[in-house]
């Protein structure tokens, strides 16, 4: 049994391992997307592929990482913490069996109903790109089988995390990305874009199978008396199922928000869907590295803490406060960097081949919108995990629903009416999609924080520490921005690099993107780290210390 008097186990090592795994997979994902940009840029076919990939990914996030993390891990980890291994093995087998049956049905339905599903997700293509619509339907049918494989891969993640084996499951997507890179590199120079997107879809399916298979050698010895089943009679399985439906709805609301964003982008053009995909990939990098890593490592530990009776609230508060500060240390400068150096980062990562400076500028505008809610959305993940650990999925569901409704209304107004109000081209209306989502994220964050305070007491980052983070990031951003302006002046008059907009807002230096990033990013990072160190922040030192111990 768990010793209630024992000191709380630190999740810092777990968060570091999760971050390393996510870093490996995300870096490989950026390489994949850079190769994708080289051959497909922001073309209509790129938009069709982005839309088609979004649809099965929604199901993966919905039934895989989201619901499993929130309903399965707390129950399974608690059984392990109480020493009930046989019960834990039965729960793992029942969840695997039920999940396999569910995703098999969904994949079959998805292949059959692809035209209707694509019509719901990117219905705007019917008017703005009929050929892109037809291609998205074809690609969706190819991609749907990958959904089942990725959901089972997420089940592996739940088991491994509960056993405090964090690295492999988060690094496994490396092989998913490698499979696609291989297709792009081999076929890209030899076939046309239409054929390339079809081959790439098959590469996604192959990569999904590899991602599942690579976890099995480490997973299998942990399962003990594992037997797949459809048994739902045990008390533990009933607890999983009680959390499953509300969490499914809550995660579904979040995924609906992503689909709504894609639909609104399709009302502008297929190319807008493509650039939104690049934006979301870059914007999710700090969310995954810092928000997801901390939240994923904390969830099983928070679930264990709830068994400690009267001491639970105090120890939950301490865990949450430490986690919030670790997240903010890294995400605050990420938001400032997107705001002032979005074109530098976009050019470094994607400007190659057919992806030119105009595409980089367009990407930057959308990143500015993403910066609005980056901090709130990332901190909110940890608060939601706290509620899941308390086996309360209804509170996050209510607030997530409110956020989605609000952001959907604001984004629609921005897309339909914003360009006319501000006198900008319709393509710039996509900025409203990312920015309004950020405004709604701040509302959700404050509601979650207040609701949790009523359960366990007040949590949060000390105001002085948070202000120091923001002040350091803004000083670093100001210096990097000044450096960018100076480089622009040295390079001479910059050519117009917007295909559809003549406004030149702080034009990017007319230099090689890699060189500009090599000059400016170290300035930004160095100044921020130096100032926060002066303020007594120890997060980076702790991370480096853990890395040396691995």
What pLDDT, in 10s, does the model give residues 74-90?
A: 788 778 877 888 888 88
Please report which confidence band the pLDDT of residue 141 belongs to, taking 50, 70 and 90 as the band edges.
very high
Q: Is 243 exposed, middle or buried (0-12, 13-18, 19+ CB in 10 A)?
A: buried
In angstroms, rounded to a whole number, what is the distance separating the alpha carbons of residues 336 and 340? 6
Six-digit token string for 28: 């490989």
Closest of 140, 119, 116 to residue 56, by C-alpha: 140
Q: What is the pLDDT of residues 236-248, one digit of tens each?
A: 888 787 767 666 6
**pLDDT score at 497:** 47
Kindly state the DSSP code that residue 63 receives in the 8-state scheme. Answer: I
In angstroms, rounded to a whole number, what is the distance separating the alpha carbons of residues 481 and 498? 20
Q: How far is CA 369 from CA 232, 350, 364, 400, in A?
A: 45, 19, 9, 20
Six-digit token string for 159: 């088991």
**pLDDT score at 251:** 65
Q: Mean pLDDT for the chain? A: 83
Q: What is the pLDDT of residues 251-274, one digit of tens each?
A: 666 677 788 899 999 999 999 999
Return phi, psi of residue 122, to 5°: -130, 50
In angstroms, rounded to a whole number, what is the distance separating the alpha carbons of residues 479 and 343? 16
Closest of 483, 509, 480 to residue 497, by C-alpha: 509
Please report which confidence band the pLDDT of residue 93 belongs to, taking 50, 70 and 90 as the band edges.
confident
Give the angle 120-444-458 at the CA atoms, nearest 5°: 155
**pLDDT score at 75:** 82
pTM of the model: 0.80
Closest of 336, 501, 372, 374 to residue 428, by C-alpha: 501
Please determine, for residue 191, whether its predicted confidence score (pLDDT) is greater than 90: yes
Please determine, for residue 180, whether its predicted confidence score (pLDDT) is greater than 90: yes
Please report which confidence band the pLDDT of residue 303 belongs to, taking 50, 70 and 90 as the band edges.
low
Residue with tokens 């980052």: 461
Q: How far is CA 242 from CA 70, 75, 181, 302, 394, in A?
A: 11, 11, 41, 19, 11
Nearest 10 degrees: CA dihedral of 135, 136, 141, 143?
120
Closest of 372, 455, 446 to residue 403, by C-alpha: 446
Contact 2, 82 (CB under 8 A): yes
Q: How far is CA 139 from CA 64, 130, 252, in A?
A: 21, 14, 23
2 or 188: which leads in pLDDT = 188
Range 247-274 burial, b when 16+ CB lie within 10 A, else e: bbbbbbbbbbbbbbbbbbbbbbbbbbbb
Residue with tokens 């990914």: 57
Q: What is the mean pLDDT of residues 157-182?
A: 86
Give the angle 328-430-270 at the CA atoms, nearest 5°: 120
E strand or H helix that includes residue 459:
none
Please determine, for residue 526, whether its predicted confidence score (pLDDT) is greater than 70: yes
Q: What is the mean pLDDT of residues 205-211?
A: 94
Q: How far is CA 314 from CA 9, 78, 346, 455, 457, in A?
A: 14, 19, 43, 11, 8
Give the angle 456-461-467 at the CA atoms, nearest 5°: 155
H helices of 188-234, where?
193-213, 216-219
**pLDDT score at 199:** 97
Report how far Cα 323 is from the mean position of its chain's Cα atoms.
18
**pLDDT score at 147:** 84
CA atoms lying within 13 Å on the CB side of residue 19: 23
Q: What is the pLDDT of residues 395-451, one digit of tens each?
A: 888 898 899 899 999 999 999 998 889 888 888 889 999 999 999 999 999 999 999
In angstroms, rounded to a whole number, what is the distance separating the alpha carbons of residues 141 and 136? 9
- Tell me, letter by letter, the H, E, C secondary structure of 400-446: HHHHHHHHHHHHHHHHHHHHHHHCCCHHHHHHHHHHHHHHHHHHHHH
Please report which confidence band the pLDDT of residue 113 belongs to, taking 50, 70 and 90 as the band edges.
very high
In angstroms, rounded to a whole number, what is the distance separating the alpha carbons of residues 459 and 406? 26
Contact 355, 37 (CB under 8 A): yes
Q: What is the mean pLDDT of residues 220-243?
A: 81
CB atoms under 10 Å from CB of 138, counted, come to 17
Please determine, for residue 307, whether its predicted confidence score (pLDDT) is greater than 70: no
Q: What share of the chain is helix, strand, coil (3-state, %, to 5)?
A: 85, 0, 15
Contact 173, 210 (CB under 8 A): no
């Amino acid at each position: 049994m768990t010793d209630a008097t024992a000191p709380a186990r630190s999740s810092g090592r777990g968060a570091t391992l999760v971050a390393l795994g996510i870093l490996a997979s995300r870096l490989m994902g950026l390489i994949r997307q850079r190769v994708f940009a080289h051959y497909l840029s922001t073309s209509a076919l790129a938009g069709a592929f982005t839309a088609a990939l979004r649809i099965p990914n929604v199901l993966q996030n919905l039934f895989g990482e989201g619901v499993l993390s929130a309903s399965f891990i707390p129950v399974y980890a608690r059984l392990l913490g109480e020493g009930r291994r046989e019960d834990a093995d039965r729960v793992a087998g029942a969840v695997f069996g039920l999940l396999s049956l569910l995703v098999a049905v969904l994949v079959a339905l998805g292949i059959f109903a692809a035209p209707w599903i694509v019509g719901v997700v990117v219905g705007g293509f019917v008017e703005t790109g009929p050929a892109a619509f037809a291609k998205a339907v074809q690609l969706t049918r190819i991609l749907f089988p990958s959904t089942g494989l990725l959901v089972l891969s997420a089940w592996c993640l739940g088991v491994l995390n509960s056993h405090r084996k964090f690295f492999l499951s988060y690094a496994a997507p490396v092989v998913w990305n490698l499979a696609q890179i291989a297709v792009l590199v081999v076929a890209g120079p030899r076939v046309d874009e239409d054929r390339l997107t079809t081959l790439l879809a098959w590469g996604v399916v192959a990569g999904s199978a590899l991602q599942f298979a690579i976890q099995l050698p480490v997973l299998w010895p942990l399962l003990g008396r594992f037997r797949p089943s459809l048994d739902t009679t045990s008390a533990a399985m009933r607890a999983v199922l009680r959390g499953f439906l509300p969490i499914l709805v809550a995660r579904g609301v979040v995924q609906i928000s992503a689909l709504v964003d894609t639909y609104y982008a399709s009302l502008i053009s297929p190319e807008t869907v493509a650039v939104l995909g690049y934006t979301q990939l870059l914007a999710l990098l700090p969310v995954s590295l810092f928000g997801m890593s901390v939240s994923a490592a904390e969830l099983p530990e928070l679930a264990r803490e709830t068994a400690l009776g009267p001491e639970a609230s105090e120890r939950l508060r301490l865990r949450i406060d430490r986690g919030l500060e670790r997240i903010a240390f890294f995400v605050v400068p990420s938001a400032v960097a997107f705001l002032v150096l979005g074109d530098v980062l976009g050019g470094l990562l994607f400007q190659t081949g057919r992806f030119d400076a105009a595409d980089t500028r367009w990407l930057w505008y959308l990143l500015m919108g993403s910066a609005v809610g980056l901090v709130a959305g990332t901190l909110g993940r940890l608060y939601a995990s706290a509620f899941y650990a308390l086996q309360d999925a209804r509170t996050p569901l209510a607030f997530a629903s409110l956020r989605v409704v609000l952001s959907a209304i604001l984004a629609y107004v921005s897309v339909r009416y914003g360009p006319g109000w501000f006198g900008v081209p319709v393509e710039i209306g996509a900025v409203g999609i990312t920015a309004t989502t950020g405004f709604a994220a701040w509302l959700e964050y404050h509601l979650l924080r207040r609701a949790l305070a009523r359960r366990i007491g007040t949590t949060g980052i000390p105001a002085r520490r948070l202000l120091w983070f923001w002040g350091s990031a803004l000083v670093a951003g100001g210096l990097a921005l000044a450096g960018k302006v100076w480089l622009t002046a040295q390079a001479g008059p910059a050519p117009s690099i917007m295909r559809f907009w003549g406004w030149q807002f702080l034009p990017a230096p007319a230099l090689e993107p890699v060189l500009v990033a090599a000059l400016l990013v170290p300035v930004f990072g160095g100044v921020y780290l130096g100032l926060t160190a002066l303020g007594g922040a120890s997060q980076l030192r702790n991370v480096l210390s853990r890395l040396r111990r691995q």
